[in-house]
Homo-oligomer: A and B are copies of this chain.
Protein backbone atom coordinates (compact mmCIF):
# COMPACT_ATOMS: atom_id res chain seq x y z
CA UNK A 1 0.00 0.00 0.00
CA UNK A 2 2.87 2.30 0.78
CA UNK A 3 4.17 4.44 -2.01
CA UNK A 4 0.95 4.12 -3.97
CA UNK A 5 -2.38 5.81 -3.81
CA UNK A 6 -4.08 4.09 -0.92
CA UNK A 7 -7.62 4.86 -1.98
CA UNK A 8 -9.05 2.90 0.91
CA UNK A 9 -7.18 5.03 3.47
CA UNK A 10 -7.38 8.34 1.67
CA UNK A 11 -7.59 11.38 3.88
CA UNK A 12 -9.64 14.39 2.96
CA UNK A 13 -8.89 17.80 4.45
CA UNK A 14 -12.04 18.94 6.29
CA UNK A 15 -10.74 22.40 7.11
CA UNK A 16 -7.73 24.52 7.98
CA UNK A 17 -6.26 25.76 11.21
CA UNK A 18 -5.60 29.49 11.48
CA UNK A 19 -3.11 29.90 14.27
CA UNK A 20 -0.79 32.64 15.53
CA UNK A 21 2.15 30.25 15.01
CA UNK A 22 3.52 30.81 11.56
CA UNK A 23 6.92 29.27 12.09
CA UNK A 24 8.03 26.14 13.88
CA UNK A 25 10.15 28.20 16.29
CA UNK A 26 7.07 30.15 17.39
CA UNK A 27 4.86 27.18 18.20
CA UNK A 28 4.69 25.71 21.68
CA UNK A 29 5.74 22.10 21.97
CA UNK A 30 2.32 21.25 23.41
CA UNK A 31 -0.94 23.16 23.47
CA UNK A 32 -1.00 23.38 27.26
CA UNK A 33 1.98 25.73 27.03
CA UNK A 34 -0.03 28.47 25.33
CA UNK A 35 -3.06 30.62 26.12
CA UNK A 36 -3.31 31.78 22.51
CA UNK A 37 -6.54 31.29 20.62
CA UNK A 38 -6.56 29.59 17.24
CA UNK A 39 -9.41 29.47 14.77
CA UNK A 40 -10.43 26.27 13.07
CA UNK A 41 -12.12 26.89 9.73
CA UNK A 42 -14.21 23.90 8.81
CA UNK A 43 -14.96 23.75 5.09
CA UNK A 44 -18.59 24.71 4.46
CA UNK A 45 -19.58 21.31 3.12
CA UNK A 46 -18.74 19.73 6.49
CA UNK A 47 -20.41 22.40 8.66
CA UNK A 48 -23.54 20.28 9.36
CA UNK A 49 -21.29 17.79 11.14
CA UNK A 50 -20.58 20.42 13.83
CA UNK A 51 -24.10 20.46 15.25
CA UNK A 52 -24.09 19.88 19.00
CA UNK A 53 -20.38 20.52 19.44
CA UNK A 54 -21.10 23.72 21.37
CA UNK A 55 -22.22 21.61 24.31
CA UNK A 56 -18.72 20.40 25.07
CA UNK A 57 -16.02 22.14 27.11
CA UNK A 58 -13.06 20.56 25.35
CA UNK A 59 -12.46 19.19 21.90
CA UNK A 60 -10.02 16.68 20.50
CA UNK A 61 -8.52 18.20 17.37
CA UNK A 62 -6.76 15.91 14.90
CA UNK A 63 -4.64 17.65 12.30
CA UNK A 64 -1.98 16.74 9.80
CA UNK A 65 1.48 18.03 10.73
CA UNK A 66 2.38 18.80 7.15
CA UNK A 67 5.79 20.20 8.04
CA UNK A 68 6.96 17.30 10.22
CA UNK A 69 9.46 14.70 9.01
CA UNK A 70 7.95 11.24 8.61
CA UNK A 71 11.07 9.10 8.57
CA UNK A 72 11.98 9.44 12.25
CA UNK A 73 11.49 6.35 14.41
CA UNK A 74 13.36 7.61 17.47
CA UNK A 75 12.73 10.75 19.47
CA UNK A 76 15.32 13.49 19.11
CA UNK A 77 14.30 14.97 22.45
CA UNK A 78 14.34 11.86 24.58
CA UNK A 79 17.09 9.31 24.38
CA UNK A 80 15.93 5.71 24.37
CA UNK A 81 12.46 6.66 23.32
CA UNK A 82 10.76 5.80 20.05
CA UNK A 83 8.36 8.21 18.36
CA UNK A 84 5.36 6.07 19.38
CA UNK A 85 6.38 6.74 23.00
CA UNK A 86 6.44 10.49 22.32
CA UNK A 87 3.95 13.15 21.31
CA UNK A 88 6.22 14.66 18.71
CA UNK A 89 4.63 15.45 15.34
CA UNK A 90 7.55 13.60 13.71
CA UNK A 91 6.17 10.08 13.16
CA UNK A 92 5.25 7.78 10.26
CA UNK A 93 1.71 9.19 10.06
CA UNK A 94 2.02 12.78 11.32
CA UNK A 95 -1.47 12.92 12.82
CA UNK A 96 -1.35 15.30 15.76
CA UNK A 97 -3.86 15.16 18.57
CA UNK A 98 -4.55 18.14 20.79
CA UNK A 99 -7.11 18.47 23.56
CA UNK A 100 -8.26 22.10 23.38
CA UNK A 101 -10.62 24.34 25.29
CA UNK A 102 -13.64 25.34 23.23
CA UNK A 103 -13.90 29.14 23.24
CA UNK A 104 -16.74 29.58 20.78
CA UNK A 105 -18.35 28.50 17.53
CA UNK A 106 -19.70 30.84 14.88
CA UNK A 107 -21.01 29.04 11.83
CA UNK A 108 -18.16 26.93 10.53
CA UNK A 109 -15.48 28.72 12.56
CA UNK A 110 -14.40 27.29 15.89
CA UNK A 111 -12.19 29.19 18.30
CA UNK A 112 -10.08 27.07 20.64
CA UNK A 113 -7.46 27.73 23.26
CA UNK A 114 -4.47 25.46 23.71
CA UNK A 115 -3.69 24.30 20.20
CA UNK A 116 -0.03 24.08 19.21
CA UNK A 117 -0.69 23.64 15.47
CA UNK A 118 1.13 25.76 12.94
CA UNK A 119 -0.90 28.15 10.82
CA UNK A 120 -2.47 26.49 7.79
CA UNK A 121 -2.28 22.96 9.14
CA UNK A 122 -4.89 20.73 7.47
CA UNK A 123 -7.71 19.66 9.77
CA UNK A 124 -8.53 15.93 9.77
CA UNK A 125 -11.15 15.48 12.45
CA UNK A 126 -12.84 16.99 15.48
CA UNK A 127 -14.21 14.88 18.30
CA UNK A 128 -15.78 15.86 21.61
CA UNK A 129 -13.50 15.26 24.59
CA UNK A 130 -15.33 12.91 26.93
CA UNK A 131 -13.61 12.48 30.31
CA UNK A 132 -15.31 9.11 30.83
CA UNK A 133 -13.58 7.81 27.68
CA UNK A 134 -10.42 9.86 27.59
CA UNK A 135 -9.32 10.02 31.22
CA UNK A 136 -9.01 6.52 32.65
Q: Which residues of A contact B (CB under 8 A)?
A: 1-2, 5-14, 30-32, 42, 46, 48-53, 55-58, 60, 62, 64, 66, 73-75, 78, 80-87, 91-93, 95, 97, 99, 101, 114, 122, 124-136
Q: Which residues of B contact A133 (CB under 8 A)?
A: 30-32, 87, 99
By a CB distance below 8 angstroms, the chain B residues around A131 are 135
Contact A52 B81 (CB under 8 A): yes
Instruction: Give the CA-CA distance A31 to B132 in the complex, in Å.
Output: 11
Contact call B52/A78, Cβ cutoff below 8 A: yes
**Residue of B whose beta carbon sits closest to that of A135:** B135
Residue of B nearest to A48 (CB): B73
